[in-house]
Structure 1
């Protein structure tokens, strides 16, 4: 019999009380005195409402470089202050893992003009010379490429930085480590033949391109021992058809086999692009997010001018029609990976309805994750778990109120927090709040 959402599971020897997790998001909580309070405000409601596992998203391994968005919370140094957050999550019987990250060519210093002007000394870390298309975008003014190709010694140093950041997370009370291995971060850039044309031990063949991820795993194990270590990893099936070479779905399955052999405790397969585009956050064109006057100046500062911001908005509009957005768009890839490995496989991407989640568990994956809907409903698990009366529209099949309109994500380019800004969605959440739908007895 297939497990249900309420069924407990073990990951790397750690019990997780159910199979619903809060997928990594950009918290944009910063690195100042209010950081921990902001993170508790964003993450604790999910734990209090019953989520078994929370991933804190994209915590950079360097203090000022490699950040994929403004106001990230770094793990470059010890963070005893974060113990207050992990204690708050544990008080509800939930687990919390730190997702650690380096953006490489996706970093702020490549695309955020205001950040680049404030940090003129900062250069991007590149696996190899950037692809020709990115160099053309730089000539057109859309990117500021001033990169440093990693030496072999530099690769080892970067892997050690991942290991040190993992140790800082475990010291702060996190239950495990989740590597941001896709969505165009530097780990994907090592894995991808489109980006990795190195001639040393970390490039060239399909197997050699996986050596960086193997080295990162070794560095983490050396510092934190036997704690759960997961990674997201891609196929590049969502890349534009003209992009060659790229990782196929079959390549992704082979990577999964290798990651299990290396010793990873869980895998999150995703169908990715080779660019940081709307393949990551599929859904509607975010009209309200782009057109709202509150962020217009911020977009101009981020992208370099108003006309460049409008060009990015146009690209978003076109991409919104290009990428499919069916529920569980990574499910086919997850199923193929689950058939190939014996460690837990986690599935995320467009999951909104309880019945869809139950259908995926067992055959396609071992856990299901929800991301953007938490911006709209911080206590969403209260409606998805232990369903009784349930949703007024679908009494036995509750669905997140999120409409995948992406108005929550675009303002994050300015450093704004991820919150729902769509009136119809907020009204629906208000109705559930008045009905007491988010009130629940906690389970452990």
Structure 2
């Protein structure tokens, strides 16, 4: 049996990645304006310059309005705007890396559900829903934490939504993106089609994977033979009493079906039926919640000081419930890899080179990291460099201080002094240097 190494190339469809390390999708907070390209270049190019085989642009929205799950998400619906992203794709390709765009619609997770100030500013926006809102979420609506005015898609509208994915994919491919990545987890609209917790339809889309098949057909018809990959969720971390939900067995069956249908790669992930800390396992981000700079933003997002504090309390409980578990998706990925013949990508809690080496060729064909890039934008240089060894480890502490302020529109950056100091020491020692690749300044909290 051939042993896969991190430095080995990998074929995803017709695209060959130069190695098997990738920057997983993160929220870049780039928006959709004249500064978007500059922001995306500053966020994504360091990973390519440092040698990542694949760089994934975070979730980008396929609708003209609504559908954003968090502030600062980019929309890919205007051909002129998307054409301008060629500057980004060229910059990534200059370093030999490949670039994927992750396409998304938030559905019931959209800001028009949970962000109080956004909802007040956009009173006519309705959430798109696969089926009527599940009863546990309606309870949160009655308690005032969420606000649902959902529009359940009819069959023709589901086809129209799938066409939006196809149109956005075609524009992205024209702008030079190498791979289309469908956001199929984390409570986005695709996840909601797949999940029996949300999907109670009686038409053909009551068969959840059917939506991903139609999306695939739309991409193929509009964007040609660009490689297409998707996340596929298992809802094994669902809180007790919330169901029905997707088991690991269900996820393996869905992955086998999607691979047979033509998907070029799969990213199995375990999480919940709702958007919670199961997808960002780690410590309770006390520093971020207590930071006075963000208090007014939290109150604006959650509808007041009391509700903001209750959300923080819920985050504390979730952080205890979903304690950090290294490589928490590995076993699910291993099961899927045994069932399909396309590459399986693994992410979620992978923090060490030795761990990567154990996963490759066993649980997966490529390994991704997300939050560690907030602290080390040029992390691949350390993991792929000649001095890398099994003990080479990221400086990220999975404390989540990077992520929580994003609900206020703040950028995703590391805000933990000890972690930033560790990254700074590596930078001073030249650990991020590559021949001919200038190194940026040490990452710092841009808000001071």
Shift of 1:386: 3.0
Q: In the alignment, which of 84, 87, 93 is matched to residue 84 of structure 1?
A: 87
1:115 aligned residue: 118
Compute the displacement of 1:420 (Å).
Answer: 0.3
Contact between 2:282 and 2:399, CA under 8 Å: does it hold in 1?
A: yes
1:13 and 2:14 aligned: yes
Q: Secondary structure at the match of 1:284?
A: coil
SS at match of 1:133: helix
- Within 5 Å, which residues of 2 pair with 1:315-334? 315-334=314-333
Instruction: Report deviation, 1:326.
Output: 1.7
Which SS does the other structure have where 1:279 is aligned? helix
1:52-63 equivalences in 2 (<5 Å): 52-63=53-64
The match for 2:195 is 192
Cα offsets for 1:393-441 (capped at 9, x unmatched): xx65210000000000001101111000000000001111111111013
Q: How does 1:12-411 map to 2 (within 5 A)?
A: 12-78=13-79, 79-203=82-206, 208-388=207-387, 390=388, 397-411=391-405
CA contact (8 A) 2:108 2:127 kept: yes
Cα deviations by residue, 1:123-161 (Å, 9 ceiling, x for unpaired)? 000000111010000011100101100011110110111
Is this contact kept in 1: 2:103–2:180, CA < 8 A? yes
Task: Note the residue ranges of structure 1 that are not aligned, 5 or more in a row.
Answer: none
Deviation (angstroms), 1:210: 1.3
Shift of 1:63: 2.7
Deviation at residue 81 of structure 1 after TM alignment:
1.1
Match of 2:409 among 415, 420, 432: 415
Contact 1:167 1:224 (8 Å CA) reproduced: yes
**TM-score, with length taken from structure 1:** 0.96
Query: CA shift at 1:95, angstroms?
Result: 0.2
Kindly report structure 1 stretches of 4+ aligned residues shifted beyond 4 Å. Answer: none
Q: Distance in 2 between matches of 1:358 and 1:84?
A: 34
Query: Do the aligned partners of residues 273 and 442 (structure 1) sit closer, same or farther apart at CA in structure 2, a change above 3 Å counting?
Result: farther
Encode CA deviations 1:100-120: one digit per residue, 9 max, x unaligned.
000100001010111111111
Structure 2 contact 352–390 (Cα < 8 Å) conserved: no
Change (3 A) 1:121 1:398: same
Check the 8 A contact 2:52/2:380 in 1, yes or no: yes
Matched-pair contact (CA < 8 Å) for 2:355–2:390: no
Quote the residue 2:445 is aligned against. none
Q: Kindly state the Cα deviation for residue 221 of structure 1 after the two structures are TM-superposed.
A: 0.6
Deviation, structure 1 residue 77? 1.8
Structure 2: any 5+ residue segments left out of the alignment? Answer: 438-448
RMSD of the TM alignment (CA)?
A: 1.1
Determine if contact 2:283/2:324 at 8 Å carries over to the other structure: no
Distance between the aligned counterparts of 1:442 and 1:93, measured in 2?
Answer: 13
SS of residue paired to 1:202:
helix
Classify 1:432/1:342 alpha carbon distance in 2 versus 1 (closer, same or farther; 3 Å).
same
CA drift of 1:225 comes to 1.1
Residue 427 of structure 2, aligned match among 415, 433, 438: 433
User: Within 2, Cα distance between the matches of 1:16 and 1:221?
Assistant: 21
> In 1, Cα distance between the equivalents of 2:205 and 2:177?
30
CA distance in 2, matches of 1:243, 1:105: 16
Secondary structure of the structure 1 residue equivalent to 2:55 = strand
TM-score by length of 2: 0.96
Aligned length: 434
